[in-house]
Amino acid sequence: MNHRKIANLLGLLLLAAMLLSACASPAQVTEAPAATEPPEAAQPPAPTAAAPGEKKLILATTTSTEDSGLLEYLLPMFDQETGVKVEVIAVGTGQALQLGQDGNADVLLVHARAKEDEFMAANHGTRREDVMYNDFVIVCPESDPAGIKGMTSAVDAFKKIAETQTTFVSRGDDSGTHTKEKSIWQAAGIEPQGDWYVSSGQGMGEVLTMSEEQQACTLSDRATYLARTKEGLKLVVLVEGDKTLFNPYGVIAVNPDKSPNIQADLANQFIDWIISLPVQEKIAEFGMAEFGQSLFIPDSTAWREAHQ
């Protein structure tokens, strides 16, 4: 066989090998696994610009004032009386305070007194007033998986929840409720961790829904809890009345130095309105018809002086 025939034969063999390789399963390419990053916390919606000639106030507030229905009840009155539209950004108290610090809100309605005091001390706000209060409650399935029914100490109840590893759903969002929960765990000498402790990063309404779905316990403000029972929530209050569970709300005017867009005059107008006796009386009435009790107790200086 001459050299040309040998070359042709080798070429045919090479072509056949290439065809067989193409018909075979494609090679698996090994790639380095993508780096996993923790999910980012949900960001509050950006405030929208006011229409020409429109007076608009941006209120950053805790989810409990919205989930309970209080804002839906009160704010139309403010609009009607003043002509000022209120845009509500409902987030955890920590995020609401941050919005104020960043100059992205005019006025704050929040419930974490120590953080509010820090906010004022840092000159992020120019005025803080007491508005109202209610309380926190520990709610669980009626079956009481942790055996805490009737306890009068929130700290002891949390210890029992940890001891029995009863599923507990935490807000986990730096809200006023989350701040209170962490203070109770700290007082109990417990760092909650493990499969039984669920840090959700959600608002109060969502946490109550999750707790019911998972047959878990949680810490809730009473107003949001009661509002959700009207929607069919089956969790029950097992621990209440401890002075540790006191839950005061304050309203803060954001320092206008934070942004040229801060509506300082409107913020103070809103504060004057919400702490006034007529509006405090409206707060006292909220919830009475549906629940036979006020969901929030008025607590402004004007209210206290009038009811001494």
pLDDT in tens, 173-186: 999 999 999 999 99
Q: 153 and 235: one domain?
A: yes
Compute the average pLDDT of residues 283-293: 95
pLDDT score of 2 more than 50: no
Q: 168 and 206: one domain?
A: yes
If pLDDT is split at 50, 70 and 90, which confidence band does 45 have? Answer: low
User: End of a domain among 203, 222, 245?
Assistant: 245
> What SS3 state is found at 54?
coil
**Does the residue 106 lie in any domain?**
yes
Q: 228 and 282: one domain?
A: no
Bridge partner residues of 108 (DSSP): 60, 252
Domains contained in the chain, number: 2
Compute the average pLDDT of residues 190-212: 96
Q: What percent of the chain has pLDDT over 70?
A: 83
Q: Report pLDDT for 5.
A: 44
If pLDDT is split at 50, 70 and 90, which confidence band does 110 have? Answer: very high
Residues 233, 212 contacting (CB under 8 angstroms): yes
pLDDT score of 44 more than 80: no
Residue 221, both tokens: 């403000």
Q: 120 and 69: one domain?
A: yes
Q: Report pLDDT for 308.
A: 86
Q: What is the DSSP letter of 217?
A: B
Q: 112 and 192: one domain?
A: no
Q: Report pLDDT for 48.
A: 58
pLDDT score of 3 more than 50: no
Q: Report pLDDT for 26.
A: 36
> What SS3 state is found at 132?
strand
Q: 127 and 254: one domain?
A: yes
**Does the residue 27 lie in any domain?**
no
- CA–CA separation, 296 vs 298, rounded Å? 6
Compute the average pLDDT of residues 105-115: 97
For the chain, give the mean pLDDT. 87
User: What range does the domain containing 228 cover?
Assistant: 135-245
E runs forming strands in 160-261: 168-170, 197-199, 218-221, 236-239, 246-254
pLDDT in tens, 123-169: 999 999 999 999 999 999 999 999 999 999 999 999 999 999 999 99
Q: Report pLDDT for 54.
A: 73
Q: Report pLDDT for 296.
A: 97
Which comes out higher in pLDDT, residue 243 or 50? 243
Q: 75 and 203: one domain?
A: no
Q: 235 and 267: one domain?
A: no
- CA–CA separation, 66 vs 223, rounded Å? 10
Strand 236-239, strand 107-110: pairing: unpaired
Question: What pTM, to 2 d.p., does this model score?
Answer: 0.80
